[in-house]
Amino acid sequence: MYRNYNIVVKDVILRQKLIDTKFACDLGKCKGACCTLESEYGAPLLDDEIGQIQDSLTAVKIYLTESHLNKLEKDGFFENKNGELLVSSINNKECIFAFFENGVAKCSLEKAYVEGKTNFPKPISCHLFPIRVSKFGGDVLRYEEFSECSSALEKGIKENINLIDFCKDALTRRYSKNWYSKLKEMIGK
């Protein structure tokens, strides 16, 4: 185990807890809590994601409730708080793009993408969750713990899935397949 240091892969620093943590989402138990976490801040957005989301709105709107559509029309889908772009939320809780399917909160952006209606899967911060990216002269990746994800920790242990493997597609999307392969090589997995 990598208990006393961080790993650096091509100028990206990974906190060792990302390597050690077992994690696999269990939507049946958490009910999509990541889309409904209570906070005054929504998911972070990159500048170039604004246009991609704007281009996806028509396809996404068919999944949203009237309250979400009203908020979207009135206030838009993002806000700028202290220079940071964030997805808007409903009552500091539900993501503006959240919808419910069989009692589970899901992402309308992702649903439209999976159904081939858009080219944008979802914000990279959502795709990486529960990995968070901080900027300290470059990207620093850390695992952000939420009590709502306790079932994901249990499932990860039970199925022996590491957090970095669970988030492989998101990490590859953000940093490249070559970067991910280098990470796996460095940790000997």
Q: How do the pLDDT tens digits run along the chain, 189 residues long?
A: 444 458 889 989 999 899 999 999 999 999 999 999 888 778 999 999 999 999 999 999 999 999 999 999 999 999 999 889 999 999 889 999 999 999 999 999 999 999 999 999 999 999 999 999 988 878 999 999 999 999 999 999 999 999 999 999 999 999 999 999 999 998 886
Domain range enclosing 12: 1-23+137-142+149-189
The CA distance from 49 to 17, in Å, is 28
Question: Do 7 and 45 fall within a single domain?
Answer: no
Question: Do 81 and 157 fall within a single domain?
Answer: no
Question: Do 54 and 121 fall within a single domain?
Answer: yes
What pLDDT shows up at residue 5?
59
Question: Do 13 and 61 fall within a single domain?
Answer: no
Question: Do 111 and 89 fall within a single domain?
Answer: yes
Which residue, 129, 164, 181, sits at the end of a domain?
A: 129
Question: Do 35 and 15 fall within a single domain?
Answer: no
Confirm whether pTM is higher than 0.75: yes
The CA distance from 36 to 106, in Å, is 9
Q: How many CB atoms lie within 10 A of CB 117?
A: 13
Question: Do 80 and 116 fall within a single domain?
Answer: yes
